[in-house]
Amino acid sequence: MSKQPIERTLDAQLLGRRVTFDYSETWIAWSVLGLRVILAYVFLQAGLSKLSEEGWTNPGGWSSESFLVFAVDDANPFKGFFDFLAEFTFLWDPLVMYGQILIGLALLFGIAFRFTALLGGMQMILFWLASFEDGFAAGLPIEHGYIVDYTLVYAILLFALGAIGAGRILGVDARIEAHPIVERNPWLKYLLG
């Protein structure tokens, strides 16, 4: 006998209006897990490609300098900030490369998911700010339109997955949250989930 998907009703106030609709917990869980795996792949692929370019025996292969100095348009209102960051590539290179690998693994296995999603989202916001090709008067155009590009979409997805605690769905966080240490220190749930 197969189990029927559990149906629930969402009832919320959004923008002063009542919103009510039915949804399937099973399909929500699969969708959240799918998004988590895809975003894990995005970060793992980015970090591993940088590592393979850098290589264990090829120091200086990949560097954030090329991005910080040459990829940020001169008309970008945040150009000065990214030029400042370019002075510290010795710090950013390992943070970006190994950070992306660790973020990808943590997303994949659901470890410290909320904290990881926050770090990944913040990285995507920095990439998004770097993508502006002109100033505020021009509407902050980016390569494929105005305001929204894939880095902003990734950031919002990460923040949303963190908000719902996606690390609990077939993730390590579900086990960690059941540990007595977490029960005695409920603030840890802000990092887990």
Q: In one letter, which amino acid is 82?
A: F
Determine contact, residues 142/132, Cβ cutoff 8 Å.
yes
What share of the chain has pLDDT > 90, as a percent? 36
Query: What pLDDT digit, counting tens, does each position of 25-75 carry?
Result: 888 889 999 999 999 999 999 999 888 875 554 555 778 888 888 888 888
Q: Tell which residue, 175, 159, 168, 170, has the closest CA to residue 193.
A: 168
Weakest mean pLDDT among 33-42, 88-97, 156-165: 88-97
Determine contact, residues 81/140, Cβ cutoff 8 Å.
no
- What's the mean pLDDT in 173-193? 83
Q: Specify the pTM.
A: 0.80
Residue bearing the bigger pLDDT, 75 or 91: 91
What confidence score (pLDDT) does residue 139 get? 54
What confidence score (pLDDT) does residue 24 get? 80
What confidence score (pLDDT) does residue 60 get? 56
- What's the mean pLDDT in 8-24? 85
**Is it the case that residue 183 has pLDDT exceeding 80?**
yes
